[in-house]
Amino acid sequence: MDTRRVLLVDAFTADPLAGNAAGVVPTADDLSTDQMRAIARELAVSETAFVLPSETADRRLRFFSPTQEVDLCGHATIATHAHLHETGTIESGDHTVETEVGVLDVEVEPDGVVWMTQNNPRVERVTVDYDRLGDALGIDPAALEDVGADIPTAVASTGLPFLFVPVNFLEHLGGADPDQEAIAALAEEVDAAGIYAFTFDALDADSTLHGRAFAPGVGIPEDPVTGTASGACGAYLREVGAFDEFPDELQLEQGYFLDRPGTVRVQVGANVRVGGRAVTSLDGRLTVPPDEDDDIIEV
């Protein structure tokens, strides 16, 4: 049977077993969609990236959660390019990657930091009942209305839409008790992949904010550190005028309540870019069954 090299690469961190783990399959050009889906299910991380040849870019990436294909995944893009750079497959400098949302630019710095340019931002303010939102997140609605008076809820996307919800203090965000079905229903109503709740009451003095991302509708109850949502968050904060003078770079911390802390660097200018480091935590092989075989992949 076919064996395939697979990796777990932790993105937005320099420490193994922190940040957000992405599956990476460096050679996937002869895998079927069903085989990719099976591999992603077996690796059981939020997303797995499959590296394919491209006619329009340096390479193509397809992303799968354990339950379905996803159009774009920031942390898996960062993880893949960090791995390819670490192994000498690609050099530092500018690269292009084909995704389901279009061709995106990726920059790999000599020290291994990877920057991903996201799609042009789209921000749409939405009115959501705070009682319903509080019930879905398991947060006192007063903690949402407090800051919502100055910073409205909105759906923002730089490739994958999220509903952005500000929370007044970290203790309320950290104490969230999400109702996954309610979050999925609410996200579907506003045409978003999930909800990104955040507070400016961060743990690290250098951090701009602390975020948590819930996306049960795409098979991710809570994502440790979310690249696509972080870029969209930067665009959203600029659109709603969250700062008197918008910072040159934002630092978004996430994952602490899952014991997988990580940091996403975000730059919002003519383009939206997200960046960070990544480290390989597992490198091995999986046995892939024939395409017509529906059996679970064997380790």
Asked whether residue 220 falls in the same domain as residue 140, the answer is yes
The pLDDT assigned to 292 comes to 67
pLDDT in tens, 278-293: 999 999 999 998 886 4
pLDDT at 271 over 90: yes
For the chain, percent of residues with pLDDT exceeding 90: 92
Q: List, as one string, the DSSP characters of 42-78.
A: HH-SSEEEEEE--SSSSEEEEEE-SSSEES--HHHHH
Asked whether 284 and 276 are in contact (CB, 8 A), the reply is no
**What CATH number has the domain bearing residue 32?**
3.10.310.10
Terminal C-alpha separation, the chain: 12
Residue 205 exposed, middle or buried by CB count within 10 Å (0-12, 13-18, 19+): exposed
pLDDT at 63 over 90: yes
Is 143 domain-assigned? yes
pLDDT in tens, 103-150: 999 999 999 999 999 999 999 999 999 999 999 999 999 999 989 889
Asked whether residue 148 falls in the same domain as residue 263, the answer is yes
Q: Is 47 a catalytic residue?
A: yes
**SS3 state of residue 282:** strand
Asked whether residue 170 falls in the same domain as residue 81, the answer is no
231 vs 239: CA distance, rounded Å: 13
Q: How far is CA 90 from CA 49, 61, 93, 289, in A?
A: 16, 15, 9, 30
Asked whether residue 191 falls in the same domain as residue 71, the answer is no
Is 40 domain-assigned? yes
pLDDT-based confidence at 297, cuts 50/70/90? low
Is 298 domain-assigned? no
The pLDDT assigned to 218 comes to 86
Asked whether residue 104 falls in the same domain as residue 234, the answer is no
Chain centre to alpha carbon of residue 113: 16
Range of the domain at 221: 122-270
The pLDDT assigned to 222 comes to 95
The pLDDT assigned to 223 comes to 92
Tokens found for residue 119:
């799609």
Q: Which of 42, 47, 98, 222 is catalytic?
A: 47
The pLDDT assigned to 296 comes to 55
pLDDT in tens, 201-251: 999 999 999 999 999 998 889 999 999 999 999 999 999 999 999 999 999
pLDDT in tens, 82-115: 999 999 999 999 999 999 999 999 999 999 999 9
216 vs 194: CA distance, rounded Å: 7
- Outline where 190-272 has alpha helix (H): 227-239
Asked whether residue 150 falls in the same domain as residue 245, the answer is yes
The pLDDT assigned to 1 comes to 75
The pLDDT assigned to 138 comes to 98
Domain count, the chain: 2
Asked whether residue 112 falls in the same domain as residue 140, the answer is no
Match 């045409």 to its residue by tokens: 191
Asked whether 13 and 258 are in contact (CB, 8 A), the reply is no
130 vs 246: CA distance, rounded Å: 27
Is 9 domain-assigned? yes
Amino acid at 88: G
Question: 67 — alpha (psi -120 to 50), left (phi > 0) or beta?
Answer: alpha
Tokens found for residue 223:
């994502």
Asked whether residue 169 falls in the same domain as residue 251, the answer is yes
Asked whether residue 263 falls in the same domain as residue 131, the answer is yes
- Of the candidates 107, 123, 55, the one whose C-alpha atom is nearest the C-alpha of residue 274 is 107
